[in-house]
Amino acid sequence: MKKLLQLEYEARINFYYSIKIKAWMIISLCLFAIALQFKSIEIFIAKIFLTLGIASCLIVIFLIFRSKKNKKRIRKIEEELAKDNLEE
């Protein structure tokens, strides 16, 4: 029972990571679009938005790696549950 609860918890975390990844991807695309709009008007403002866009892309990469790590934990728990079911 404890492993099932842990599996459910890890699955929820994985779901939240997927939502965060999509949200940060949209934010970074918007920041890049704003940077392109300001490129012809004011280069300083464009550089600020470009830097923020790059930072948000790095956040997306970080969240993807955390999500993959969480998926490995989920697989490990599923394997343990399968072994326990075979033993019974």
Q: Please, how many CA atoms are within 13 Å of residue 19, restricted to the half-sphere of its CB?
A: 6
Asked whether 67 and 17 are in contact (CB, 8 A), the reply is: yes
What is the pLDDT at residue 69? 85
Percent of the chain with pLDDT over 70: 98
Residues in the chain: 88
Angstrom CA distances, 42 to 20, 27, 29, 77, stand at 31, 21, 19, 53
Domain boundary assignment for the chain: 2-87
**First-last CA distance in the chain:** 14
What is the pLDDT at residue 88? 65
Give pLDDT tens digits for 27-50: 999 988 888 888 777 888 888 888
Q: Rounded to the nearest 10 degrees, what angle do helices 43-87 and 2-39 cross at?
A: 160
pTM of the model: 0.72
* pLDDT value at 86 more than 80: no
